[in-house]
Structure 1
Amino acid sequence: MDRSPWICLTCGGHYPAAEEPPASCRFCTDERQWVPPTGQRWATLAGLAADGYATEVREVEPGLLGIGVRQHIGVGQRGLLVRTAEGNLLWDPPAFLDEEAVRAVRDAGGLRAVTASHPHMYGAIVDWSDAFDAEILLPEADAHWLQRPSSAVRTWSGTLPVLPGVTLVQCGGHFPGSAALHWADGADGAGVLLVGDTVMVTPGEDRVTFMWSAPNRLPLPERWVRGIVAALRPYRFDRIYGGWWLPVLRRDAKRVLESCADRYVQFLRGEVDLG
């Protein structure tokens, strides 16, 4: 019998190994997610591999490697490996990984730490940690969402410089610990922000927005939007990568973030003439 951890196919959440899957998924039954009308579905890494799931690795820009899954699973995020001279960090790991993914990261210099923007994107975070003896960096406010215990967990709050030029920033909003990662050397030195869906890049790649629950269309209150902008104000960045291959906000990202936050708040307050 395959006793590897159980994976929720709807959200990608990982749960401890057991003879039977959990009765329900803690992530999906939360108001920010959803349970399929047909009920929760479960899989294991071995089962997914047997069904043809496979890793997809791409260079996103110099120093930034994307790690995704060719078939959709969970919320569908692709991870990003930030490479530095003093080690690498993996951000928002997908729910599936295989030897190809591990080999690609090993060839890129290994892994010092693995982390995520928020609990929906913890993915195979424990498996990555085990493969490289890497730290799991989780905001203290959200660490209880990790369903598989690991001695590699290190909690943090506020900000955390992880590697030279690589800083985790707690923004709040979608979850209390929702975070962004600032990579100072990205975009040819102009600075990059990795956001998952703490900030959501819109399809035209010229705006961002903010949601408490994207699938359930629940907006984020003004004070939390203002909190995100304030947390990111000290950092210089020209580009924003969301949690998926596309869309990407490719230029002038800090100005766009701040102007879109102001516009979002105008809608919340009813200050927009829609006539």
Structure 2
Amino acid sequence: MVGSQNLLICTACGTQFDVPFSQPLKACRICDDPRQFVPAQGQTWTSLSHLRSTHTNTFTPFSTSSKLWSINTEPKVAIGQRCILIQTPSGNVLWDCITLLNDATVERIKSMGGLKAIVISHPHYYTTHLDWAEAFGCPVYLAKEDVGWCCREDRDRRRKLIEGTHGSLEEVVVEGVVVAKPGGHFPGSLVLCWERRLFIADTMVTAPSAYYHIDRPEGTTSYAFMWSIPNMIPLPPSELIKMWRVLETLDFESTHAAFVGTDIYDKDLKGRVLESMKIQARNEGYAEHEILKQKLPE
């Protein structure tokens, strides 16, 4: 695993560039986008070679399923998201991606059956996805709308673009795993649905008030829908209704967000998603909007 170990990696977002570490760029184009940010200390860089000497990946099984594993890097790297290994009868899928890939991680995943596909929710988590795809000999699925944010050339043609307009559904190579495109955070922001579990990354942001759901007062939200999460810029109702048209077609009773521990279980969860959209729209000053008229599918 030496081919890309000395390529430039942004320490703020974890994105890898086709540029040697010895020739750092002035700026990271991902962090310069208004959805992200450059840290107060300024732009800094690292490489896989350095990360492999200082960091490790941890595998944590889900308490509710022996077929789901959170993989995250310690100490924290960049945004600090997890990726999730989904073990299905038709092959394993990796939902989202993290920057650190080392021999121990490759060996561990191969011992669990390898990967048949990688699906990445949005550009903030593209990280070192070409290294992951090469290591496991599998395709990596990205939304066609967002592929312009890729920062490395795909010489081996590992990327598979999920086509279709905002709201399309696509069946991934692995039977039973459906990828949907609600958009919002990015035009092609994705979610993944498997066995009534919805993997949401940052497409929907799990609110602190989501975790306790007994005797919830009226107006208590569960999710936020954000154009920029760190810069706290919400999406307008015109985007919320587009997202709802996709999410209402999916059957789910749990959501699993970008960080370890952000898992919500509730058989009425779809209703809480719609409720949260309405709360956001009203508190943005909209007394009348199509999203406020929506009801759960019968």
TM-score (norm 2): 0.85
Report how far residue 58 of structure 1 moved: 1.1
Which residue number in structure 2 is paired with residue 57 of structure 1?
Answer: 59
Report how far residue 3 of structure 1 moved: 6.0
Report how far residue 236 of structure 1 moved: 0.6
Report how far residue 265 of structure 1 moved: 1.0
State yes or no: 1:260 paired with 2:262: no
State yes or no: 1:92 paired with 2:96: yes
Counting only pairs closer than 5 Å after superposition, residues 1-275 of structure 1 correspond to structure 2 as: 4-18=6-20, 19-50=22-53, 52-60=54-62, 61-150=65-154, 151-157=157-163, 158-162=168-172, 163-183=174-194, 185=195, 191-206=196-211, 207-251=222-266, 252-271=268-287
Cα RMSD (Å): 1.6
CA–CA distance in structure 2, aligned partners of residues 71 and 33 of structure 1: 21
Q: Decide whether the 8 Å contact of 1:57 with 1:104 is kept in 2.
A: no
Q: Decide whether the 8 Å contact of 2:120 with 2:140 is kept in 1.
A: no
CA–CA distance in structure 2, aligned partners of residues 3 and 83 of structure 1: 28
Percent identical among aligned pairs is 30
How many positions carry a matched residue from both structures? 264
Q: SS of the counterpart of 1:27?
A: helix
CA–CA distance in structure 2, aligned partners of residues 221 and 25 of structure 1: 27
CA–CA distance in structure 2, aligned partners of residues 253 and 54 of structure 1: 34
Amino acid at match of 1:9: T
Q: Decide whether the 8 Å contact of 1:67 with 1:101 is kept in 2.
A: no
Report how far residue 25 of structure 1 moved: 0.3
Q: Decide whether the 8 Å contact of 2:12 with 2:79 is kept in 1.
A: yes
CA–CA distance in structure 2, aligned partners of residues 136 and 149 of structure 1: 14
Q: Decide whether the 8 Å contact of 2:67 with 2:86 is kept in 1.
A: yes
CA–CA distance in structure 1, aligned partners of residues 224 and 39 of structure 2: 26
CA–CA distance in structure 1, aligned partners of residues 48 and 176 of structure 2: 34
Report how far residue 178 of structure 1 moved: 0.4
CA–CA distance in structure 2, aligned partners of residues 171 and 45 of structure 1: 32
TM-score (norm 1): 0.92
Gaps of 5+ in 1: 186-190
Report how far residue 247 of structure 1 moved: 2.2
Amino acid at match of 1:109: G
Report how far residue 4 of structure 1 moved: 2.1
Amino acid at match of 2:47: T
Q: Which moved more, 1:115-124 or 1:203-212?
A: 203-212
Q: Decide whether the 8 Å contact of 1:205 with 1:250 is kept in 2.
A: no
Report how far residue 268 of structure 1 moved: 1.5
CA–CA distance in structure 1, aligned partners of residues 19 and 107 of structure 2: 24
CA–CA distance in structure 2, aligned partners of residues 160 and 125 of structure 1: 20
CA–CA distance in structure 2, aligned partners of residues 4 and 130 of structure 1: 16
CA–CA distance in structure 1, aligned partners of residues 93 and 261 of structure 2: 21
Amino acid at match of 2:6: S
Gaps of 5+ in 2: 212-221, 288-298
CA–CA distance in structure 2, aligned partners of residues 216 and 77 of structure 1: 17
CA–CA distance in structure 1, aligned partners of residues 30 and 227 of structure 2: 14
Q: Decide whether the 8 Å contact of 1:112 with 1:134 is kept in 2.
A: yes
Q: Decide whether the 8 Å contact of 2:144 with 2:188 is kept in 1.
A: yes
Report how far residue 121 of structure 1 moved: 0.9
Report how far residue 270 of structure 1 moved: 4.9
Q: SS of the counterpart of 2:79?
A: coil
Q: SS of the counterpart of 2:160?
A: strand
Q: Decide whether the 8 Å contact of 2:9 with 2:47 is kept in 1.
A: yes
CA–CA distance in structure 1, aligned partners of residues 5 and 183 of structure 2: 35
